[in-house]
């Protein structure tokens, strides 16, 4: 199955993909958080921000694992 965010990413619509990944992450998708962190890490569709990428990984993904 292809998600809208993956389709946007594949088509090079980085900013739109980032918005979808934020929404997916807020809805509980770990993969969306990972993808968003990766986009911040390399600066695709978002200003490169390694600190934000680390924050997402350390905070959002750990928070999600605690909820399990």
Domain ranges of the chain: 4-67
Tokens of 44: 């695709």
On whether the CB atoms of residues 19 and 47 are closer than 8 A, the answer is: no
Residue range 24-57, pLDDT digits in tens: 999 988 899 999 999 999 999 999 999 999 999 9
pTM of the model as a whole: 0.83
What value does the mean pLDDT take over residues 7-30? 93
Residue with tokens 């980085």: 14
CB 23 within 8 A of CB 17: no
Pairwise CA distance, residues 15 & 28, whole Å: 20
């Amino acid at each position: 199955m292809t998600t809208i965010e993956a389709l946007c990413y594949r088509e090079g619509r980085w900013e739109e993909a980032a918005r979808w990944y934020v929404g997916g992450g807020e809805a509980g998708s770990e993969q969306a958080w990972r993808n968003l962190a990766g986009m911040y890490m390399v600066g695709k569709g978002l200003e490169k921000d390694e600190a934000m990428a680390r924050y997402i990984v350390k905070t959002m993904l750990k928070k999600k694992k605690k909820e399990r």
